[in-house]
C-alpha cells in the first residue's frame, strides 16, 4: 500500500507525494553522482574518488584540478546531459504516441537528427575538423532533421498505433535516414568522413566545454518545460474526452510535448551521436521504480538515462583499455535484447 502526503502551494497547485518514490529518486541521484565521480577518476592518470571530490569542492591540487576540469569533466557532463535528454524525450514520445515501444531511436527521430548534424559536420568543417560556422548550428540542424521525422510519424500514424506498425514505421524511417546520412558523407570532403563516422557510433571522445556550453541552455530550458507539462500528461493518459472535460486542450498539449521531445533528442544527438535505446529503456525502468505518474517518472527517467550513458562511457574506457569502445556500442549490446523482449511482451499483451 502506497503512502501519500498531500502538498498544497496556494490555491492553484496541489500534489500527492509518494515518499517511497521520492526516496528512490534520491537513491538514483546519489548513484548518478557516484558514477560521475568514478568516471572522472578513470584515465591514464588515475584519481581516487576522494581526490575527485576535493576538486569538486575547490580544495584539490592544481594538477588534479587541471585533469578534472580541462579534460574529463566536460566529457562526463555531456554524457549526463545527453542521457537525461534522450530518456525524457523517450518518456514523452511514449506518452504522446501511447505506445510502449516509442523512443527517439525506434521511431527514427534520432536518425533524422543525425542527418541534420552530419550535414553541418560534413560541409562546414575545415581540414583540421574545426567547424567553419557557429557550434549552435549543430543542435539547430539536428532539431530540424528530427522535426521532419516527427511530422512524418504524425502523418502516418495519427491516432493510436499498434506496436508492430510503429516498429515498421521506425524501421522505414531509420533506413531512410541512414541512407541519407551515408550519402551525405559520401559526397562530402574526405577529411570529414572519419569525424562523421566516429560521431555516428555514439562516441563522447574529445568533448569540450564549448559543446557543454551550447547544450546546457537547451537542457536548462527544455527540462523545466517538460516538468511543467507532466501534469497535463497525467490527464491526457485518461483519454481525450475526459481530458477535454477537465479543461485541458489535448491536441495543443500533444503538439507542444512533441516539440519538446524532438528538441531534447535533437540537442543530445547533435553532440554525442546516435546513442540508441536510452529513450526506450530508461522510461520503462523508471515506471517499474516510481510508477506511471509523470511528475516522478520524468526525473527518474532523466537520472536513469544519465546513469546509462555515463556508465557505458566508463565501461567503454576501462574494459578494453587502452582501446576505447564508444558508449553507443555498449548500450546497443544491452538495448537490442531488451527491445526484442518488449516486442514479444507487447505481442502477447
Beta bridge partners of residue 280, listed in sequence order: none
Task: Give the three cell numbers for residue 183.
Answer: 550519402
Name 135's Cβ contacts closer than 8 Å, sequence gap at least 6: 210, 211, 214
Beta bridge partners of residue 318, listed in sequence order: none
pLDDT of residue 333: 86
pLDDT of residue 88: 92
Q: What is the DSSP letter of 291?
A: -
Residues 302 and 122 sit within 8 Å (Cβ to Cβ): no
Residues 170 and 104: their CA atoms lie apart, in Å, by 9
Q: Reduced to 3 states, what is the DSSP secondary structure of residue 318?
A: helix
Share in percent of the chain as helix, strand, coil (round to 5): 75, 5, 25
Q: Are strands 4-9 and 13-18 parallel, antiparallel or unpaired?
A: antiparallel
pLDDT of residue 16: 61
Pick 22-348's CATH classification: 1.10.3470.10, 3.40.50.720, 2.60.120.260, 2.40.50.100: 1.10.3470.10
pLDDT of residue 36: 95
Model's pTM, two decimal places? 0.86
**pLDDT, tens digit only, all 349 positions of the chain:** 455 565 555 555 555 667 788 899 999 999 999 999 999 998 888 899 999 999 999 888 889 899 988 888 999 999 999 999 999 999 988 888 777 777 888 888 888 988 988 888 888 877 666 777 777 788 888 889 988 988 887 777 655 556 567 667 878 888 899 899 889 888 888 777 777 777 777 777 777 888 888 888 878 888 888 887 777 776 666 666 666 665 666 667 777 888 888 888 888 888 888 888 898 899 989 988 988 788 889 999 999 999 999 999 999 888 887 788 888 888 888 887 877 777 676 665 5
Residues 22 and 144: their CA atoms lie apart, in Å, by 36
Chain-centroid distance, C-alpha 96: 17
Omega within 30 of 0 (cis) for the link into 322: yes
Angle at the Cα of 218 from the Cα atoms of 212 and 220, rounded to 5 degrees? 90
First to last CA, the chain: 26
Domain boundaries, given as residue ranges, for the chain: 22-348
DSSP code per residue over 34-95: HHHHHHHH-SSS---HHHHHHHHHT-S-HHHHHIIIIIIHHHHHHHHHHHHHHHHHHHHHHH
DSSP code per residue over 127-147: TTS-BSS-TTHHHHHHHHHHH
Q: What is the DSSP letter of 204?
A: -
Residues 104 and 85 sit within 8 Å (Cβ to Cβ): no
Q: Is 291 exposed, middle or buried (0-12, 13-18, 19+ CB in 10 A)?
A: middle
Task: Give the three cell numbers for residue 34.
Answer: 557516484
Q: What is the DSSP letter of 7?
A: E
Beta bridge partners of residue 16, listed in sequence order: 6
User: How crowded is residue 202: how many other Cβ atoms within 10 Å of its Cβ?
Assistant: 26
Task: Give the three cell numbers for residue 239.
Answer: 483519454
Amino acid at each position: 500500500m502506497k503512502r501519500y502526503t498531500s502538498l498544497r502551494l496556494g490555491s492553484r497547485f496541489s500534489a500527492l507525494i509518494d515518499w517511497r518514490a521520492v526516496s528512490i529518486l534520491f537513491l538514483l541521484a546519489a548513484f548518478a553522482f557516484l558514477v560521475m565521480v568514478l568516471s572522472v577518476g578513470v584515465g591514464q592518470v588515475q584519481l581516487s574518488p576522494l581526490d575527485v571530490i576535493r576538486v569538486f569542492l575547490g580544495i584539490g591540487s592544481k594538477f588534479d584540478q587541471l585533469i578534472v576540469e580541462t579534460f574529463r569533466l566536460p566529457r562526463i557532463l555531456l554524457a549526463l546531459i545527453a542521457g537525461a535528454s534522450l530518456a525524457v524525450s523517450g518518456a514523452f514520445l511514449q506518452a504522446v504516441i501511447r505506445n510502449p515501444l516509442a523512443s527517439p531511436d525506434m521511431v527514427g527521430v534520432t536518425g533524422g537528427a543525425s542527418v541534420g548534424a552530419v550535414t553541418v559536420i560534413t560541409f562546414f568543417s575545415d581540414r583540421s575538423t574545426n567547424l567553419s560556422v557557429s557550434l549552435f548550428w549543430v543542435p539547430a540542424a539536428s532539431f530540424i532533421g528530427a522535426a521532419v521525422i516527427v511530422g512524418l510519424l504524425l502523418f502516418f500514424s495519427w491516432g493510436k498505433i499498434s506496436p508492430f506498425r510503429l516498429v515498421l514505421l521506425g524501421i522505414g524511417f531509420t533506413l531512410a535516414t541512414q541512407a541519407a546520412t551515408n550519402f551525405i558523407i559520401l559526397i562530402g570532403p574526405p577529411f570529414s568522413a572519419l569525424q562523421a563516422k566516429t560521431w555516428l557510433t555514439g562516441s563522447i571522445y574529445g568533448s569540450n566545454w564549448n559543446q557543454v556550453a551550447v547544450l546546457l541552455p537547451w537542457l536548462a530550458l527544455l527540462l523545466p518545460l517538460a516538468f511543467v507539462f507532466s501534469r497535463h500528461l497525467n490527464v491526457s493518459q485518461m483519454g481525450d474526452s475526459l481530458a477535454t472535460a477537465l479543461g485541458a486542450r489535448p491536441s495543443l498539449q500533444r503538439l507542444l510535448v512533441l516539440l519538446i521531445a524532438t528538441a531534447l533528442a535533437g540537442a543530445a544527438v547533435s553532440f554525442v551521436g546516435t546513442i540508441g535505446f536510452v529513450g526506450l529503456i530508461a522510461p520503462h525502468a523508471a515506471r517499474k521504480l516510481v510508477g506511471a505518474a509523470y511528475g516522478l517518472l520524468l526525473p527518474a527517467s532523466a537520472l536513469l538515462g544519465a546513469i546509462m550513458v555515463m556508465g557505458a562511457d566508463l565501461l567503454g574506457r576501462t574494459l578494453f583499455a587502452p582501446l576505447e569502445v564508444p558508449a553507443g556500442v555498449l548500450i546497443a549490446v544491452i538495448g537490442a535484447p531488451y527491445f526484442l523482449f518488449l516486442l514479444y511482451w507487447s505481442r502477447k499483451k
